[in-house]
Amino acid sequence: MASKLIPVLCPLLMLQLISFNACGLRTEVKRADVLKEGRGKIMCLQETKWDEGLVEKVQKEWKGGIYTSNGTGTARGVAILVPEQLKETVKLIYKEKVGRIIIIDFQHNNENYRLINIHCPNIEGERKDFVRGLNKWVTNKTNCLIVGDFNICLTKLDSAKNNTYKNDTSRTELNKLMERNNLIDIWRNLNPFKLQYSRQQSTQYRLQNTSKNISKQVEKRHTSHSRRHTVIQHTRKRNFRHNTNS
């Protein structure tokens, strides 16, 4: 599989969730690899570059529910694919036309979840406004996960030596989002001084806010560039199991 397709797995009570920026998912061979990787899991994709015709093809290739915001332009398209056993519990909450955000609610093991899949803009000012707009979708009434490509290095440790860690107003906005909703970077919380990278330039996070003490595990596959995949979450009780594999 291409190096850009690097999944992060976060089991929630035996449920796995994968997120990656596909950088285009139009060819049959590439789709087959990605769908095989996500089989039986919830899969959050960014930069799918799909249209309605391709979505129809994917529906024939994937056993389960498919929820998309295809958008227009070059770097566009987000999608959430859920396994067949969850399909009947899913409710589409929001999708926009640009192809940068899609939100669903679903149930698993008698728990309610909100899943927000995003791809933040590259331009700093637009990214700041986009992150600020996430506040209205984060709810303390249910377990809430924000998954996607934030295009932000949250800390200096998330940036490779070759990349400059510079002031970024969208990072400030993301920190406000985390503070306001009691979110923490769980991978950084468990690895406060560790340098571990998955791709240059692009940074990808998963935000999670939950009031339940759910046993967590994070599997992170990486190379030698800037950190892209992170888990950020809030729990009232913190009892985490963590495993990082090369």
Q: What is the CATH number of the domain that holds 94?
A: 3.60.10.10
Bridge-based pairing of strands 143-149 and 204-209 is: antiparallel
Q: Which domain holds residue 165?
A: 8-234
Angle between helices 124-133 and 169-180 (to 10 degrees): 10
- Per-position b or e across 4-27, b if 16+ CB within 10 A of its CB: ebbbbbbbbeebbbbbbbbbbbee
Is 126 a member of any domain? yes
pLDDT of 230 higher than 70: no
Work out the average pLDDT over 1-27: 66
Binding-site residues for Mg(2+), in ranges, read: 21, 47, 149, 151
Work out the average pLDDT over 82-109: 95
pLDDT of 244 higher than 70: no
Is 106 a member of any domain? yes
Is 243 a member of any domain? no
Q: How many domains does the structure of the chain reveal?
A: 1
Is 187 a member of any domain? yes
Is 2 a member of any domain? no
Is 156 a member of any domain? yes
Structure tokens, 163: 């990349």
Q: pTM of this prediction?
A: 0.78
Binding-site residues, in ranges, read: 21, 47, 149, 151
Is 198 a member of any domain? yes
Is 241 a member of any domain? no
